[in-house]
Structure 1
Amino acid sequence: MPKLYLIGTGPGDYNELTGNAVDCLNDSDIIMGYSKYIELISNIIKGKEVESGSVTDEIERANTAISHVLSGKNVSIVSSGDSAIYGMAGIVFEIIAKHEYDIDVKIIPGITAISSAGSLLGVPFMNDFCSISLSDKLTPEDIILKRINAAGSGDFVVALYNPVSIKRTELIKKAREIMLKYREGNTPVGIVRNAYRESESAIISTLDDFLNYNIDMFTLVVIGNSSTYTYQKYMITPRNYDNKYNI
């Protein structure tokens, strides 16, 4: 039976791509995805039929991929990070369920932005954390702000996906103001851009100052909780071993 592979390619570097992902790409007749993500894996899909497009083509891409599978082709749709976390797997499953398609779908997990960015910052996610996307394309701004408030009041470490776009520049400022209601201004904030790609950068700033740095759609912003601290070039969120054990 033809298969639809929903592949998370991780941050983009070949060394962070899982063996399972490589096997499924090799098994595919057609590779589909946002042109930037296709470019990152171009060296391992040579000779394959490739259909790439813009980041806003999700619905068309999903429907086209399903059509290819129904016609007998093995198809991979690639997403950066993990396909089932802010990736293409969501819209594919919504379409399949709505139209009651009977096709073989396989989700191939990938290294998430939280995992890759966290590894460059140290251990910011060692205690409870949450992720919030600041993209208001599909989620209303008032819901996003409500979730930021909840994360702040719950003292979660917060990872902000899609923090700034060309048109959306104010929501990150509102997020900072909300977090300042619950955190001190010197709370560590990690800014990781292009993790495990060319022009990678990982900076540790503070809640007061992090907006002074370059932040875009290829950036993950990590706001520490009330216990997060820095040591040398690392962010550390304690698991609270020191409260129970002699370390």
Structure 2
Amino acid sequence: MAKLSLVGLGPGSLDLMSIRAQSVIKQADVVVGYAPYVNMVEPLIDGQKLVKTGMTKEWQRADSAIQLVQQGYKVALVCSGDAGMYAMAPLIFELLASQAINIEVETIPGITAANACASLVGAPLGHDSCTISLSDLLTPWTVITQRIEAAAIADFAITFYNPRSKKRQHHIVEAQQILLKHRAVNTPVAVVNAAYRDEQSVQLSTLESFTQLEFGMNAAVIVGNSSSFRFDDWIVTPRGYRNKYSLADGETRDGQTPGRSLNDIEFPVMSDK
């Protein structure tokens, strides 16, 4: 039966790609995608027709995938990370809605860049967090800076996608300056390039200094919140257990009740590390 499968490949290594994703690709008649992403699944290709396109050809990929399904094929449209995050799923659904096209679609989730990069540096996204792309190709820079300011004020840990390119060097510096208005200069930062790929690199720094590091579009920059701290080569953003329990013995702190809302009282700075 003709179907469009939006397949999240995760970071790119087969061992971090879901069994379901691998199965869908193997059973597809056609695999469509950005050429480097199609190349990632080469071990799964055995007779499927391949449709590869280049950078900035997202509309062409989406249109080709939809037309192939309409022609009766099972199509796997592959995306790095998760298809629904800064990838092809939103465009596919926009095209289907705007053109009133009715085809069968399924989305196969994948490990996002934020999750993959965070896993290499401990638990930097252990509490509320958000992702912000610094690419202004599709979103005005004024909107992006408003989102950075809002995330900074709300004390989210932040993963920046598309942090820097050859043409766009200053955006990450402006993002840094916005965050420095709300966070300490020693807030831990991780710059992770090409997580789980051959060219992977991990650099740990601080909010004050991280822009001096070398990185580009393939990197993700994870900035901790006001509670985040360095522990050896890890970054930890606490969930808040120390507010209710003693980390030394697990005992409930005075005035708190297990399983109940945290009482709204002032907590001293504690060091149960």
Bigger radius of gyration among the two:
2
Deviates more, 1:88-97 or 1:166-175: 166-175
The 1-side partners of 2:62 and 2:38 are apart by 15
Secondary structure of the structure 2 residue equivalent to 1:246 = coil
* Matching residue of 1:63: 63
* Matching residue of 2:224: 224
The 1-side partners of 2:89 and 2:152 are apart by 29
Q: CA RMSD in A?
A: 0.8
Secondary structure of the structure 2 residue equivalent to 1:116 = helix
* Matching residue of 1:24: 24
- How far did residue 55 of structure 1 move? 2.3
* Matching residue of 1:116: 116
* Count of aligned pairs: 247
- How far did residue 47 of structure 1 move? 2.6
Is structure 2 residue 123 aligned with structure 1 residue 133?
Answer: no
Point out 4+ residue stretches in structure 1 off by more than 4 angstroms: none
Gaps (5+ residues) in structure 2?
248-273
* Matching residue of 1:87: 87
What amino acid maps onto 2:196 in structure 1?
Y
The 1-side partners of 2:55 and 2:27 are apart by 24
- What is the aligned-residue identity percentage? 41
The 2-side partners of 1:164 and 1:27 are apart by 37
What amino acid maps onto 1:245 in structure 2?
Y
* Matching residue of 1:36: 36
The 2-side partners of 1:35 and 1:162 are apart by 19
> Does the CA contact (< 8 Å) of 2:134 and 2:172 recur in 1?
yes
The 1-side partners of 2:65 and 2:243 are apart by 52
Secondary structure of the structure 1 residue equivalent to 2:239 = coil
The 1-side partners of 2:11 and 2:86 are apart by 14
What amino acid maps onto 2:89 in structure 1?
A
What amino acid maps onto 1:81 in structure 2?
G
The 2-side partners of 1:218 and 1:41 are apart by 19
Q: Which digits, 9 at most, give the CA deviation of each residue in 1:209-245, with x for residues without a partner?
A: 1112122111000011011000000000011211211
* Matching residue of 1:191: 191
What amino acid maps onto 1:154 in structure 2?
A
> Does the CA contact (< 8 Å) of 2:11 and 2:112 recur in 1?
yes
The 2-side partners of 1:135 and 1:46 are apart by 36
The 2-side partners of 1:207 and 1:189 are apart by 6
Secondary structure of the structure 1 residue equivalent to 2:145 = helix
Q: Which digits, 9 at most, give the CA deviation of each residue in 1:126-176, with x for residues without a partner?
A: 111010000100000000000000001111101100111221111111000
* Matching residue of 1:242: 242
Is structure 2 residue 148 aligned with structure 1 residue 148?
Answer: yes
Q: Which digits, 9 at most, give the CA deviation of each residue in 1:37-82, with x for residues without a partner?
A: 1122112124321111112111111111111100101111110000
* Matching residue of 2:267: none
Gaps (5+ residues) in structure 1?
none
The 2-side partners of 1:28 and 1:141 are apart by 39
* Matching residue of 1:173: 173
